[in-house]
Amino acid sequence: MITEADTCRKYVVPKLHAAGWTDDQMEELMPSILNKTISETDENNQTTFEFE
């Protein structure tokens, strides 16, 4: 059975490398330690997020 991580390693990571990303810029698993998310919409209707 193919997992989400397998799919990421096979398809996503090579594309990120091709776009100039380095391994230091990527984390396979990032623990969620965020307690609060604040989102705002600016005058161009773009949503921005701040994590505290």
The dihedral of CA 15, 21, 24, 29: what is its sign? negative
User: Cα(32)–Cα(28) distance, rounded to whole angstroms?
Assistant: 13
* 6: its two tokens: 């397998």
Q: Tens of pLDDT along 21-40? A: 998 888 776 655 555 555 66
Quote the number of domains for the chain. Answer: 1
Q: What is the pLDDT of residue 5?
A: 85
Q: What is the pLDDT of residue 28?
A: 75
Judged against a pLDDT cut of 60, whether residue 9 lies above it is answered with: yes
Q: What is the pTM of this model?
A: 0.52
Q: What is the pLDDT of residue 51?
A: 57
Judged against a pLDDT cut of 90, whether residue 10 lies above it is answered with: yes
Domain housing 12: 4-51
> Which residues lie below 8 Å from residue 43, measured CB to CB, with a gap of 6+?
none
The three-state secondary structure class of 46 is: coil
